[in-house]
Chains A and B, each alone.
Chain A
Amino acid sequence: DAGVIQSPRHEVTEMGQEVTLRCKPISGHDYLFWYRQTMMRGLELLIYFNNNVPIDDSGMPEDRFSAKMPNASFSTLKIQPSEPRDSAVYFCASSPSPTNEKLFFGSGTQLSVL
């Protein structure tokens, strides 16, 4: 298996632009997590899905952020409009079981908002 695949690897955009981050989880994994990592705040859980349904989005910073999972093999995290404080590394992770005893992480998307 190729593992969790995220794209793009790097994204540089200007303030006010829409940004879409993509994630393909490992086939057969029913749980998908989006995390954001910054020096100041560490790794923050933004949202997680079970069987394509959002379960907990309490970590989504504000309405500018939205996440979808239209099918079992694809998820997006969208920021519209983007702001410089959104600059961070965004990770997607997947897991095969409800106990989530082991998350498999993608390589992350380094987002820079100028």
Chain B
Amino acid sequence: SQQGEEDPQALSIQEGENATMNCSYKTSINNLQWYRQNSGRGLVHLILIRSNEREKHSGRLRVTLDTSKKSSSLLITASRAADTASYFCATATRGAAGNKLTFGGGTRVLVKP
């Protein structure tokens, strides 16, 4: 079963607008990561936020984490056509050896030029 559930499942915006997507999860986590997947490709790591952090920035990306609500959000500011992709959250939980990463269902983002 998926640890993370993402919302919305799909998002269509105009170039220059902001894109926001949310991730909810069920159990305690060590960290939460966001990945991007372009069509037909593997996933690429974007940003990580640790369980004791509330907000993180990287370029046009802003991630928040609310452990009390077990939720995270990813904001992409000033979107570009090249941001068109699927975005996944992944929750890291302690495994028998190392952290185990479980992915959500993803949000498909279409940025129209």
CB-defined contacts of B90 to chain A, threshold 8 Å? 103
Provide the main secondary structure of the chain B interface: strand
Does B42 sit within 8 A of A, measured CB to CB? yes
Are B33 and A101 neighbours in the complex by a CB distance under 8 Å? yes
Are A91 and B104 neighbours in the complex by a CB distance under 8 Å? no
Does B10 sit within 8 A of A, measured CB to CB? no
CB-defined contacts of B98 to chain A, threshold 8 Å? 31, 48, 50, 55, 95, 97-100
Chain B residues 1 to 53 lying within 8 A of chain A, measured CB to CB, are 2, 30-31, 33, 35, 41-45, 48
Are B42 and A55 neighbours in the complex by a CB distance under 8 Å? no
Binds B, one of A13-21, A69-77, A80-88, A105-113: A105-113
Contact code string B87-113 (vs A, CB < 8 Å = 1, else 0): 010101001111111111110000000
Chain B: how many interface residues by the 8 Å CB criterion? 26
Provide the main secondary structure of the chain A interface: strand
Whether A106 touches B42, Cβ cut-off 8 Å, given contacts A43-B88, A55-B96, is: yes
Q: Which residues of B contact A (CB under 8 A)?
A: 2, 30-31, 33, 35, 41-45, 48, 88, 90, 92, 95-106
Q: Which residues of A contact B (CB under 8 A)?
A: 4, 31, 33, 35, 42-43, 45, 48, 50, 53, 55-56, 91, 93, 95, 97-108
